[in-house]
Amino acid sequence: MYSILSHATSRIGLGQTTLLVAASFVFGATSILSQSPAGQARTQAPPAREAPTEAAVQREMQKGKRLADYKNSFEAAPTVKVDLTPSLYKNSIILFDGENHTVVPLGAVLSLPANLRGHILEKPEGAFLFWPSFLEKNKKWVGSWEVSMAVARGEAEMPKATVEQLANDSRVLVAVFKGGPITILEAVPDKTNKSAGAKE
């Protein structure tokens, strides 16, 4: 910078002031900019690439194997039969009135007259109705009998009077607890009473 200013000062004395001073500063600024990082970055920019055409993409796709080419490589899956019967029907008794059906748990039917056995189905038919609606619609041949939880669990036996009453009823009778069908487990004999009677 000192040499540039000295050179400019000497030229000023010779009467060429403005032109040579300006030329000296322009030349110095140009040389500095050509050595700056920004200038180098512009000169090192990568060349632009052309986007692939649709035809070129399709040609590349055709080179690879399609799913049909692997068809012979796969083995046929074994045929498996699936039981589509819901578990609800597997563990229940199906009652049918000719149009609709409902389900009650196994062991819930207390009485089934011979002339009404046709209302018991192995597979569901017709529309499904929940127990309260089915009972209300078929009161003539279906009835409910409220039992205690002790009887349902097999912890207590039904009174003999109740058993006789059930036997004389002409309807299909279903055991219920608080209105809902329930399974009746077989009562376990009281071994204490039997052993006491044998001693006597």
Q: What is the pTM of this model?
A: 0.54
How do beta strands 180-181 and 172-177 pair?
antiparallel
CA distance 91 to 94: 10
Radius of gyration of the chain (CA): 50
With 0-12 CB in 10 A as exposed, 13-18 as middle and 19+ as buried, what is 97?
middle
How do residues 106-151 score in pLDDT, each as one tens digit?
A: 999 999 999 999 999 999 999 999 999 999 999 999 999 999 999 9
Q: Report domain extents, the chain.
A: 2-42, 87-181
How many CA atoms lie within 13 Å of 65's alpha carbon, on the beta-carbon side? 7
Render pLDDT for 45-93 as a digit per residue (tens, 0 to 9). 666 666 667 777 677 666 665 656 655 665 666 665 555 556 778 889 9
